[in-house]
Amino acid sequence: MSIRKAVKDRPAYNFEPKPYTIKLDQNESPYDLSAELKEKVFDKLRDTAFNRYPDIHADGLRAAIADYCDWPELGIAVGSGSNTLIRRMIEISGLGQTVLCLKPTFAVYELDANLLEPDALIELDLNADFSLPVEKLKEVLASKTGVFFLANPAAPTGNIHPQTEVLELLKVAQQNDWTVIIDEAYHQFSDTDYSKLIKDFPNMICLRTLSKAFGLAGVRLGYALGNPDYIKHVQKAIPPFSVSVVQLAIAEVVLGDGRQVVEDYIQEVRSERERIFAALDAANIAYHPSATNFFLLPCKDPEKLYNAVLADGLLIRRQDHLVESCLRISIGKPEENTEMLKIILKHY
């Protein structure tokens, strides 16, 4: 059996399910698609031939995204989860060159780079206040080339990087032919949109997901917005027919008749976030402010607090291996957030 050393050395991406009453551990939407919208999906599927291959490059969905984002269809690539597109971008722009990212950040950049070509990976530590190490990043961007992943809003820290700093980095990256991936998985919750800058920085890609604000984590869909000249290469790296007719039908309904539901959920996250932060302020509990649908809660003993709240049915996520002493809590339905606050205050 021949297995590359990089693959043998890579730890498995583990996710251990735990029993819960309230699930606030994976930054998902707490709302399933309504029965009415599901009926529309079923109607679509009734007329769909399951024996035929789907569109080769998910053309119907790319058209729906083009309409939703006001973006040319040829500048859109779709994959089964935005995490599958991350690997494609490393294959296209990182191998034999550099994969640059921050630490901590979304784990898949590092995991995929380590699987494909560990020597290509450069990780730079965020500053203690979660801001970007701008000068150090500029040094790498000026001396090498490859692909640079920047989650904005950031994960797992939840902050937004100031646009002035990102622009400084984009300029140096452009001079040295980098591909810059701005991962906007959470952008609807912060009302930021870097796609507007792609006309000035054609080397930039906005990576998006349907797993968060669109509430389709179980459906596995993500997309990239970019310059058609780059996207045509991304299409070559995506396995043909990789988005199924079932995924296509669901996403087309959500991006069509489901738009208002998505908008309402985004507004609810923003107001619940404020309510949660006000309650923590009132209880004198410090937290890291966030522009996303989750936030980091520092505490004295993360393992103890995690286990205590889990015993009361509240499932959150340990992040103390990434950010000192922190647990991560997703924003749920209003009644779940009220219960979450009660349980946290009881054990904190």
Ligand X SMILES: Cc1ncc(COP(=O)(O)O)c(C=O)c1O
Site for ligand X, rule CB under 6 A? 27, 81-83, 106, 151, 155, 183, 185, 209, 211, 217, 222
Compute the distance between CA of residue 81 and CA of residue 174 in angstroms, rounded to an integer. 27
CB of 207 to ligand X, least distance (A): 7
Looking at the Cβ atoms of 89 and 343, the one nearer to ligand X is: 89
Looking at the Cβ atoms of 185 and 340, the one nearer to ligand X is: 185
CB of 300 to ligand X, least distance (A): 26
CB of 187 to ligand X, least distance (A): 10
DSSP characters for 187-249? Answer: HHHHT--GGGGTTT-TTEEEEEESSSTT--TTT--EEEE--HHHHHHHHHHSPTT-S-HHHHH
CB of 25 to ligand X, least distance (A): 11
CB of 154 to ligand X, least distance (A): 8
DSSP E strands, 146-193:
146-151, 179-183
Q: Which residues lie below 8 Å from residue 192, measured CB to CB, with a gap of 6+? A: 152, 153, 160, 184, 291
For tokens 């991560």, what's the residue? Answer: 328
Looking at the Cβ atoms of 169 and 343, the one nearer to ligand X is: 169
Looking at the Cβ atoms of 184 and 272, the one nearer to ligand X is: 184
Looking at the Cβ atoms of 185 and 343, the one nearer to ligand X is: 185
CB of 86 to ligand X, least distance (A): 7
CB of 214 to ligand X, least distance (A): 10
Helices (H) and strands (E) in the chain, counts: 13, 12
Looking at the Cβ atoms of 331 and 341, the one nearer to ligand X is: 331
Instruction: Report CA-CA distances (Å) from 1 to 8, 112, 156.
Output: 12, 22, 37
Instruction: Report CA-CA distances (Å) from 11 to 105, 111, 297, 307.
Output: 17, 9, 27, 25
Looking at the Cβ atoms of 155 and 343, the one nearer to ligand X is: 155
Count the helix, strand and coil residues of the chain and give each as a percent rounded to the nearest 5.
45, 15, 40
